[in-house]
Every structure is written in structure tokens, then in C-alpha cells.
Structure 1
């Protein structure tokens, strides 16, 4: 038998520090992003603040500092026949819409919509097409997930907790848990560290360097790693030390506590909108807010020094130059992704911007991900904590999404639209004789929305509105 030396050419995608940074920037709110960039400028001598914003162009692009006139391509807008245009370039954030009665500074708005991990997961649960039974199981699971994103309680304990209202098996709970483990943040709903890391690794491309071995370690050998070390684990798994070291390095890049970054901002904190939506010549437009583009540039003085300094200084400068380029590129990618999502939302939800929540169309993360050819987790990460400035005020991007509710006439209506209609009816009711759930059901039917009374009761409770007998006001 002859021994041969064969060479094989293959391509592998590694989770590079650049990719990690891009994903982290995408998930940040505008306020968090400003803090991140300020810290980068302070620590990197090759970064400096841009002296002035880029000039406006005739078409809003991913790096535009402010909205511009409509593009003839039509990719920016949903059609709107209204004649009342709202154009932010009529002055410093001019207000020209009858919808916008706010007198707060438009770039900053005080919001009370703080959202913790539980609320964030519940919102995603309602966007899934689950039965009422599975939805009840999902709510119980979400309530059992701690602040770090872990499900510490055994499934058997949840079986007991759901009784007597619901008789379920551990297998049913596990099936719903799989849905929750597919939510954002990635790794949520794990029952231990190994499962948490495995959930994150499974979302990486199959050809990511070290992924397969890292999955094996996370699922079978993670507890033995501190005692055995990389060398011992390599012998146990019969793998090269270099391969195990690469896999362990990949594991260390995962987030061990996925829930800790959700809901860090206090309710009532100021928020910065990332995107501006306005209407011009009967069309809805979208562009990045002025602060959402890369506010930093490469310091040309230091960059020119690279060819005239010692090898040690050159190494230092090249390292920081690479980090500076990664940051600027990550900021550009973040802006491009946000703008793509917002422009696609305008295609679906132009009526929502014109008429309010009652006109909201059913739209899920999965539909948006399919249309933009992105992963659902990317959409969820991109819209988390992001706000847009509209003629109706500052709106959370997640408010543009809503599940479909099938009405009695065979059509579908967004659940948020039904809730908005209910809220409007209850606000206009006679306080001496509040509307019962049955009456609310009849009024909705008269407006073309046929839903069951129990659905009305469910939405009323979800909005924390008491039943009619508790809403009676005399005098």
C-alpha cells in the first residue's frame, strides 16, 4: 500500500470578529449605538468625528443624513392618495401633518414603552400561528424563563402548574418550547448552558469553521471542558488539538446569558428614532435619521503615517485601522438593513400610517424575512428597540407587525387593528352604561369585523381594560 499526500480546497465561513460586531451593532438601539461609537472614538486614535454630515442627494440612500425627494424607482413607498404632505426638509423637522399634534422635540421623544424579556417573548409568541392550547402553554413557558433567558423549571413542574385548567404532557410542552427557542434573543429558552450555546451555533452557516465540533462539545462534553482542558478533550474526542481549540474559541464567542441585554433601558427613557418616514407627492418615503449614518471617519493623518513609522508602531496603527474600518462598515450595514426593512414595511402598512392602528394589516416576522431573504432572527434583532419618526409621532418598528385574525366573512384582520377598534369604542362609551363584551362584539360586526365574544374578552383583558360592570362611572 502506498501512502499519498492529497490536498483539498474547501471554503469555510468563520464567525469573524467583524461579523460579531456587525450583529451586535444591528441589535443596538440608537442611544446604545451613540454610546458605543463615542467609546470607540475615545479608544481608537484612527477614528474621529465627522465634521459635517454628508450632503443630501436627489434620492435617499442607506447613508443619507436626511430625507430627500422621492425616487422614481418606487422602492421607497406605499401609495397614498392623500394631499397633505409631511416633509422634514421644510425646515428643522417641520410639522405639516394634521396627524402630528405633539409639541415635543421630534428627534427625541419620551416613551413609556419599556419592554422586558417576558414582554418581548410574549410579543413574538403572538406572531406565531399557534392554537389557543399551544399559546397557553407558550405563555406558561415564557413566565418560567428567568432574566438570563433560561428555563430553570423542569417540564414536569410545568405540567403540574398548568393543571387543572389544562391537561398537557411533557411532550406537548417540549414541542412548544422548540418554538420559543427559535425566538430572539438567540439561545433563549435553553435549560442549561450547553443547550443555550447549541441553539446559537445551529443558526450559524453549516460551513462555519469549527461549528460541528463546537456543537458536539456543547451537547456532550461542555461540563468536562474545565477539568480536562483542550488537550484532554482532544484526546477524549479523538480530534486534533488545533480543531478543539478552534471549536472552543467559537463557543466562547457565543452569549452565555442571552436575556440580559433585553429591556435594559428604563421605562420613560428618551429614545432616538433611527429612521424618518414622511409623505411627499402622495407617496410614503423613508430615510435614515441624521444620526443613524456613520458619524465617524478615518483619521487621515494617522493613516498616512503608516508608511513612515517603525514596524511596532505600524503594527499598532494597522490594528486600529482595521478596527476603525470594521466599525464604519458595521454602521453602514446596520443602516442598510434598517432601511430595507422600513421600506418594505411601507409597502404593507401605508394605510396604518394614514389612518392608524385600525388599518394595520396582518404581517409577521416570517413573511418579512421571506420577502427580504433574511433570517427571522435578523429581522427580530433589527427591529428590537428601534423607532421611526412618522407624521403620527414616534413609533416602534415592532408596532408595524401583527398576527392575523380570521373574521366571520372569511377575511383576515390584524389583531392590533381589532384591539385599536375596541379601545376606540370603549373610550367613546357612556360611562354610566359601559358596553358589554356582547355589545362590543355586535358593534365590531357592524363595522365589518366578525369575531367571537371570547375573542373580544381576550383582547380587552390583554389591554388591561376591566369588564363593563367595573367601568361604571356615576357623576
Structure 2
């Protein structure tokens, strides 16, 4: 058979670049969305961030197209396909912008004028905090020790981890050093002694027991129960961790009151002395949705602080209106990309608000009474109500947060499996975890509740939960087992 050419007409669904961008933006967190916006703004000169009100993009888009030739306008098969609903994730990318959304147009200022307005004063900047290594080396430079011992101590400082522990064995460290340095194990022990006398107390320890003992030795000699506390952390720390108070009282020859004072003294110590010099920066959650009670009804609304304000650069837009030749084709493409990007971001927030409102509607009892009133909820239930795909609900509820009077929660928090009750109903796993936490918070510290006892109490309330299920829920909320909760 010789090769031939044939025309074939068929229909199929295709994900256009605009729809792919819409899906990608939907699954980004607030922080990741900000980074994506910064990247797009740097690449597209037609798109800018706006801090003030301006003309609606929907109005501007219709005005701008009137001045463009048809050959350069957003026509053709690509645009027709782009305006089709997304069958994969249920998003309608042809949604119109609301006038209150805040997506506005550039007010006419050029890039140079805006850069002049945005000049900042960097004369006052916060000083960088010292690292643990710099803090210890500064103390070494002021100490009255020999230069050789100072360098060996500096070598040990470089071997500390972020918690201030010397995790490498001294014998192994000697084997790694060049023989021409003539550093033996005794020299390392001497340098380690210098290091362990530096601030913060406990730095340079090789294990937790030594770290706590160094901090106790740094306390005044007249501290009550200091000798017994040293004996406890040096020889019986495992018994304290397992809360074997009977064995501790027998080994230390003390009563309940004495042991309680010793325990309080040990608990005040810092098991990670180097963490005070950590350079890690706290990352704060920016909620996407805020839930408030309006006239007796819980209402979800978008957080204005999480919504970026984007606009089209009016300077370049005017150029496109005046010029109608092929030389402006590049800017026309950038204009179309900018408008689609703004539309996709607006659609992202609209979808988040719809899903959040549906969640609030079904979890009203949670906002009234707390986690114990959480009802079972699955993604499919919200998807059916909003006529969206479950994958869309999954993207919306991942790394998106809701601020409520009871705290900030990820949208995933409001979904959970259910446990059958004796009455034939269902109880949310979140509500069961809240009940377990509530029971443990009010238990007798001398006789804490076991997992079997908690299972029996839940059974008396009509909630059938096995002991292993109770243990799984207890571990998920980071509550230790019964032997570690026991006190005296």
C-alpha cells in the first residue's frame, strides 16, 4: 500500500494552555501563588501589581478589543476551545469578573514613575543574629587559654550540630585529623572541657544526660535538691522518661514531695541549648477564607489580605490601541496572556469561596460547639452539591486555610471518615479525636485512662470504637500512652 493523505473530522476534549494554567493555580497555596504571580509579572510587561482601585478588567478588555484589528484579536479555534468548560476539574473559565473583585487596570503611570515612588529607605535594618558557632568563637577569643587549645576547641565547635551537641566520637575525630598536627585524645578532652564551660550551659554535650548535668552544675551550689537531681540525670534518666516513680523514689531515697521538686528542677532545663541561635524563620499562615457570624448565620468570605490585585499596564495598552500593524503582535499576545492570568486567578478565588461556603453550611455545629460536633463529610458530597469534580475539591482543600473564631484550620480538616454508632448513625473521626482529647484532659493523673477504658467509655456513649482505633486516634493528636501520662 502506498502512503496517502486523508482528512478526518472528530471531536475531543483538549486542555488548552489557559485551562492547564487554571488547574495549576487552583492547587497552589497562598505562598506559592504569590511566588507564581511575581514570576509572571516579571515575564509579562502588560501585567502589574496594583495597590489601589482602578477600572474593571472586564470593561477595559471590551474597550481594548475595539481598537485592535480582527487578525490580532483573540479569535480562532484556540479561543473557542479556551472558552469551553473544563471537564477535568469542573472549572468554568468563561466566568465574568465582578466589579467588587478588585482586578483593575493600570492608572496610567509608567514603570519609571512607579519605581521612583517605590524607593525605600534601607538605612535602618535589623541586625543579623549571631550563630551558635560565632557566639562560641567570640567567647573563645576572650578566654585565657593557649592558642593551640583555642584552635582545638574551635575544631570541636565546627563539629557541633544545630542543637549544640557533639555527635561525633572523639576517638573518630582524632583518627580523621592529620598526624602532623599532633593532636591526641587527651588534647581533645581538654578542649572539650573548655567548650563545655562556655555559654549557653549544656553546649558541647555528647548526650542528653551530659547536657542536663552540665546545666545543673552551672546552677548555684545552694540550689535545693541539686545533688539528687544530678544523680537522677546521670544515672536514672531512663526511669524518669518511663515515669517509673516508685523505682526513682527507692533509688534516691526520697518521698513524693522531694521527687516532685526534683522533677520540676529537671524539667526547667533546656535539652536543646543550641536552638536559641537557630536562624530558622517562622512561616505564618495566611488564611484564604474568613468565617464570621452575621445575624445568627455563619458566613464565609474571602480574606482581602490573601487576594492579589492585578492590573493591565495602561501605557502598553494605549500603544496597542494606536498601532494596528504586525509589529504589535508580540504585545497583543502578552495582553491576552495577562487577561487570561487575571481571569484564572479570579476563578481560583471564586471556587475556593464556593467550596468554603458549602463546608460552612454543612459544619455549622462545629462553629457553634467545637470539634466534638463535627459531622462526617467526604469530598464527593461537596462535589455533588457544587457540580464539580472530586479532584477539583481535593485541589481546593489542599494547603488552603480558613480562619474561624475557633482558630485557623486547613480546609482538609473539615473532611473525615465516619464511625458507626449503635443508633445506626455515624460519628466523625474528628469528633471522636476531640472526645478522646477531652477525656484525657480531665483524667486522674495518678490513674490515667488506658486505650481499652477509653474504648469502653465511648461504647457507653453509643460510639463503637476498637481499642486499636483509639490508639491510632490518640497517636494522631500526639497524646502519649498511659504509662507516659502517669504522674504522682
Indicate if the aligned counterparts of 1:63 and 1:288 stay in contact, CA closer than 8 A.
no
Specify which of 395, 414, 418 is matched with residue 400 of structure 1.
414
Specify which of 389, 399, 402 is matched with residue 385 of structure 1.
399
Q: CA separation of 1:267/1:433 partners in 2, compared to 1, >3 Å: closer, same or farther?
A: farther
How far apart in 1 are the matches of 2:281 and 2:386?
Answer: 32
How far apart in 1 are the matches of 2:443 and 2:312?
Answer: 60
How far 1:7 sits from its partner (Å)? 7.4
> Does 2:341 correspond to 1:327?
yes
Specify which of 474, 477, 486 is matched with residue 463 of structure 1.
477
How far 1:37 sits from its partner (Å)? 1.4
How far 1:63 sits from its partner (Å)? 7.7
Indicate if the aligned counterparts of 1:64 and 1:287 stay in contact, CA closer than 8 A.
no
Indicate if the aligned counterparts of 2:376 and 2:418 stay in contact, CA closer than 8 A.
yes
How far apart in 1 are the matches of 2:33 and 2:378?
Answer: 26
What TM-score comes out, normalization by structure 2 length? 0.50
How far apart in 1 are the matches of 2:482 and 2:454?
Answer: 10
Indicate if the aligned counterparts of 2:376 and 2:415 stay in contact, CA closer than 8 A.
yes
- Which residue does 2:44 correspond to in 1? 44
Q: Deviations over 1:436-465 (max 9, x none)?
A: 223212332344434333332332233343
Q: CA separation of 1:335/1:436 partners in 2, compared to 1, >3 Å: closer, same or farther?
A: same
Specify which of 413, 432, 435 is matched with residue 446 of structure 2.
432
SS in 1 for 2:287: coil
SS in 2 for 1:271: coil
How far apart in 2 are the matches of 1:290 and 1:426?
Answer: 39
SS in 1 for 2:403: strand
How far 1:356 sits from its partner (Å)? 1.6
> Does 2:357 correspond to 1:337?
no
How far 1:379 sits from its partner (Å)? 0.9
Q: CA separation of 1:333/1:435 partners in 2, compared to 1, >3 Å: closer, same or farther?
A: same
How far apart in 2 are the matches of 1:316 and 1:410?
Answer: 65
How far apart in 1 are the matches of 2:465 and 2:368?
Answer: 25
How far apart in 2 are the matches of 1:41 and 1:339?
Answer: 25
What is the CA RMSD across the aligned residues, in angstroms? 2.8
- Which residue does 2:322 correspond to in 1? 308
- Equivalent residue runs for 1:84-233 within 5 Å: none
How far 1:29 sits from its partner (Å)? 0.8
How far apart in 2 are the matches of 1:410 and 1:345?
Answer: 24
- Which residue does 2:365 correspond to in 1? 351
How far 1:292 sits from its partner (Å)? 4.2
How far apart in 2 are the matches of 1:271 and 1:372?
Answer: 27
Q: CA separation of 1:53/1:354 partners in 2, compared to 1, >3 Å: closer, same or farther?
A: farther
How far 1:49 sits from its partner (Å)? 2.0
Q: CA separation of 1:275/1:427 partners in 2, compared to 1, >3 Å: closer, same or farther?
A: same
> Does 2:465 correspond to 1:454?
no
Q: CA separation of 1:396/1:411 partners in 2, compared to 1, >3 Å: closer, same or farther?
A: same
Q: CA separation of 1:351/1:65 partners in 2, compared to 1, >3 Å: closer, same or farther?
A: farther
> Which structure is richer in relative contact order (CA contacts within 8 A, separation 6 or more)?
1
Q: CA separation of 1:389/1:463 partners in 2, compared to 1, >3 Å: closer, same or farther?
A: closer
- Structure 2 spans left out of the alignment, 5+ residues: 56-96, 103-279
Q: CA separation of 1:307/1:454 partners in 2, compared to 1, >3 Å: closer, same or farther?
A: closer
SS in 2 for 1:374: coil
Q: CA separation of 1:267/1:358 partners in 2, compared to 1, >3 Å: closer, same or farther?
A: farther
Indicate if the aligned counterparts of 2:49 and 2:308 stay in contact, CA closer than 8 A.
no
How far apart in 1 are the matches of 2:281 and 2:417?
Answer: 25
> Does 2:280 correspond to 1:275?
no
How far 1:470 sits from its partner (Å)? 2.9
Indicate if the aligned counterparts of 1:49 and 1:295 stay in contact, CA closer than 8 A.
yes
How far apart in 1 are the matches of 2:33 and 2:455?
Answer: 45
How far 1:65 sits from its partner (Å)? 6.1
- Structure 1 spans left out of the alignment, 5+ residues: 56-60, 67-265
Q: Deviations over 1:311-354 (max 9, x none)?
A: 45411211110110111011011011101100110121011122
> Does 2:31 correspond to 1:17?
no
How far 1:9 sits from its partner (Å)? 5.6
How far apart in 1 are the matches of 2:446 and 2:302?
Answer: 48
How far apart in 2 are the matches of 1:62 and 1:409?
Answer: 47
How far apart in 1 are the matches of 2:50 and 2:472?
Answer: 51
SS in 2 for 1:278: strand
How far apart in 1 are the matches of 2:302 and 2:54?
Answer: 12
How far 1:310 sits from its partner (Å)? 7.2
How far apart in 2 are the matches of 1:464 and 1:307?
Answer: 62
- Which residue does 2:202 correspond to in 1? none
How far 1:54 sits from its partner (Å)? 7.8
> Does 2:487 correspond to 1:473?
yes
How far 1:53 sits from its partner (Å)? 5.1
Q: CA separation of 1:384/1:268 partners in 2, compared to 1, >3 Å: closer, same or farther?
A: farther
How far apart in 2 are the matches of 1:434 and 1:313?
Answer: 79
How far apart in 2 are the matches of 1:414 and 1:442?
Answer: 18
Indicate if the aligned counterparts of 1:65 and 1:290 stay in contact, CA closer than 8 A.
no
Query: Which structure has the larger Rg?
Result: 2
